[in-house]
Amino acid sequence: MRKAALIMLSGTLFGAGLALSGMMDPARVRGFLDIFGGWDPTLGFVMAGAIAVMGIAWWVQRRMSAPIANATFHLPDTQRIDGRLILGAALFGAGWGLAGLCPGPAIASLITNIVPAAPFVAAMLAGMALFPLIERCKGAS
C-alpha cells in the first residue's frame, strides 16, 4: 500500500510539473526547438531546473543503501555510447521536434489535449511493440 501511494504521488507530481512547465504544449516545445525562427527559451529554464533536481537525486542516491520503496536500485549497467543509442536519440529528437511531444508529456496530454497526443502515443506504442520483434529477427540472422 505504501509503495502504491508513493507511485501515485510521484506520477501526480511529475504530471503537474509537465503541465505547469509547458512541456505538454506542442507549440511551446516547437518554439523552443526553433532556434533560427521565433525561439522561445522558457523550456531551457525547465530543463536547467530538471538537471539540478536530478543532480541532487544522484547525490542522495549514492549515499543510500537501498531505495525507499524497493529492495535494490535498478541502474543502467553500461555507459557505452554506441550506434543503437545514437539512433534512438536521433529518433527521439525527430519525434519530439515533429510532434512537439515526448513520451511523458504525450501520455499526460491524453487527458488535456488528445488530438495531437493520440497519434503520437499510438506510434510510440507501435514502436515499443515492434522493438522486441526486430531484436528477435536480428538475433535469428
Q: What is the pLDDT of residues 14-64, one digit of tens each?
A: 888 888 888 888 888 888 888 898 899 988 998 899 999 999 999 999 999
34 and 98 in contact (C-beta within 8 Å)? no
The number of angstroms, rounded, from the C-alpha of 77 to the middle of its chain's C-alpha atoms is 19
The average pLDDT across 54-79 equals 90
Cell of 48: 536547467
Percent of the chain with pLDDT over 90: 24
46 and 28 in contact (C-beta within 8 Å)? no
In the chain, the largest separation of any two C-alpha atoms, in whole Å, equals: 50
Per-residue pLDDT, 141:
64
Cα dist. 123→37, 97, 116 in Å?
28, 15, 12
Please report, to the nearest 10 degrees, the dihedral formed by the alpha carbons of residues 98, 132, 8, 20 taken in order.
-10
Alpha carbon distance 30, 24 (integer Å): 11
111 Cβ contact list (under 8 Å, min separation 6)? none
How confident is the prediction for the chain on average, in pLDDT? 88
Where does the pLDDT of residue 68 fall: very low under 50, low under 70, confident under 90, or very high at 90 and above? confident
Per-residue pLDDT, 96:
85
The number of angstroms, rounded, from the C-alpha of 64 to the middle of its chain's C-alpha atoms is 25
Range of the domain at 65: 2-74+82-140
The answer to whether residue 139 scores a pLDDT higher than 80 is no
Cα dist. 67→61, 62, 73 in Å?
8, 10, 6
Q: Model's pTM, two decimal places?
A: 0.70
Number of folded domains that form the chain = 1
